[in-house]
Structure 1
Amino acid sequence: MTPEARLKDPEARLQHALDVSYRYLGYRDRTVLEVRRHLEGKRVEPSTIDEALTTLLEQGYLDDARFARQFAEDRRTLDAWGSDRIERKLAQAGVDPELIAVALGAQDGDAELEAAVALLQRRYRTAPENDRERDRALGMLVRKGYGLELAYDAVRAFERTAA
Structure 2
Amino acid sequence: MTTERRRRPPRDRWGREPSADLDTGPDADPESVARTILLDQLTGRARTRSELADKLASKGVPDDVGHRLLDRFEEVGLVDDAAFAREWVEQRQRGKGLARRALAQELRRKGVEDEVAQEALEEVDADTEEESARRLVRAKLRSVSALDRDRATRRLVGMLARKGHSSSIAFRIVRSELDAVGLEGGDDDLDAGSYEPVG
TM-score by length of 1: 0.88
* Structure 2 equivalent of residue 156 of structure 1: 175
2:43 to 20, 26, 30: 26
Q: Which amino acid aligns with 2:127?
A: D
Q: 1:157 to 1:118 in 2, by over 3 A?
A: same
Q: Is the 8 A contact 1:31 1:67 kept in 2?
A: yes
Unaligned residue ranges in structure 2 (runs of 5+): 1-22, 183-199
The size of the alignment, in residue pairs, is 158
Q: Is the 8 A contact 2:24 2:33 kept in 1?
A: no
Which structure would you say has the larger RCO, counting Cα contacts within 8 Å and 6 or more residues apart? 1
Query: In structure 2, how many angstroms separate the alpha carbons of the residues matched to 1:127 and 1:114?
Result: 25
Query: In structure 1, how many angstroms separate the alpha carbons of the residues matched to 2:180 and 2:123?
Result: 26
1:69 to 74, 83, 86: 86
TM-score by length of 2: 0.73
Q: Is the 8 A contact 2:153 2:175 kept in 1?
A: no
Q: Which amino acid aligns with 1:73?
A: E
The alignment status of 1:56 with 2:73, answered yes or no, reads yes
Q: Which amino acid aligns with 1:144?
A: K
1:5 to 23, 27, 33: 27
Q: 1:2 to 1:52 in 2, by over 3 A?
A: closer
Structure 1 residue 129: Cα displacement: 4.6
Deviation per residue, 1:101-131 (Å, 9 max, x gap):
1111112112211110111111113597521
What is the root-mean-square deviation in Å for CA atoms of aligned residues?
1.9
* Structure 2 equivalent of residue 9 of structure 1: none
Q: Is the 8 A contact 2:56 2:66 kept in 1?
A: yes
1:136 to 155, 179, 186: 155
Q: 1:128 to 1:154 in 2, by over 3 A?
A: farther
Q: Is the 8 A contact 1:113 1:153 kept in 2?
A: no
Q: Is the 8 A contact 1:14 1:51 kept in 2?
A: no
1:36 to 45, 53, 60: 53
Q: 1:104 to 1:157 in 2, by over 3 A?
A: farther
Query: In structure 2, how many angstroms separate the alpha carbons of the residues matched to 1:46 and 1:74?
Result: 32
Query: In structure 2, how many angstroms separate the alpha carbons of the residues matched to 1:4 and 1:90?
Result: 36
* Structure 2 equivalent of residue 94 of structure 1: 111
Query: In structure 2, how many angstroms separate the alpha carbons of the residues matched to 1:2 and 1:45?
Result: 13
The percentage of aligned residue pairs carrying the same residue is: 30
Q: Which amino acid aligns with 1:5?
A: D
Query: In structure 2, how many angstroms separate the alpha carbons of the residues matched to 1:63 and 1:157?
Result: 41
